[in-house]
Amino acid sequence: KQLFEKNGDLIYQYQAVKNSGIPLNTDYVRLINAAGEWRLHSITEKSTEVIYSWNGELLGDFPNWALTEAWKTQGIEVLTWLKDALKE
Average pLDDT for the chain: 85
Q: What angle do CA 11, 33, 10 make, to 5 degrees?
A: 0
Write out pLDDT tens, residues 78-87.
889 888 887 8
**pLDDT tens, residue by residue, 31-80:** 778 899 999 999 999 999 999 888 877 766 778 888 888 888 888 888 89
19-41: pLDDT as tens digits? 888 887 777 767 778 899 999 99
Residue spans of beta strands (DSSP E) within 1-88: 2-6, 9-15, 35-44, 47-55
